[in-house]
Amino acid sequence: MPYHRPLDSVSVSLAFQHLQRSALVCQRQRKMNLRTMFMMECCLHKLRVLFEHQKRESKRWLTLRRKLS
């Protein structure tokens, strides 16, 4: 299983802000149709789920490491 560098909360929240800002800008300029907005929402949701999963995994590793030492 490949090792992925963990996402920190700062980079994830910055990604959220960036996506939300660009969504608002596109909405105002009427450049974004519903399909694109739906896809963007899906990306935000996937990012959030991934981050939550990663937080749980890192906690699990920390407790395992404590038990072993």
**Mean pLDDT score of the chain:** 76
In a domain, 4, yes or no: no
3-state secondary structure 26-40: HHHCCCCCHHHHHHH
**pLDDT tens-digit map of 5-31:** 566 667 777 777 887 787 777 777 776
Among candidate residues 14, 13, 9, 36, the one with its CA nearest the CA of residue 25: 36
Banded pLDDT at 49 (limits 50, 70, 90) = confident
In a domain, 3, yes or no: no
CB-CB contact of 23 with 44 (8 Å): no
DSSP state of 7: P
> Which pLDDT score is estimated for 1?
47
Stretch among 33-37, 52-56, 59-63 having the lowest mean pLDDT: 33-37
Task: Compute the half-sphere exposure of residue 27: CA atoms within 13 Å on the CB side of its CA.
Answer: 10
Full domain range(s) for residue 51: 9-68
Q: Say how many domains are in the chain.
A: 1
In a domain, 2, yes or no: no
CB-CB contact of 11 with 54 (8 Å): no
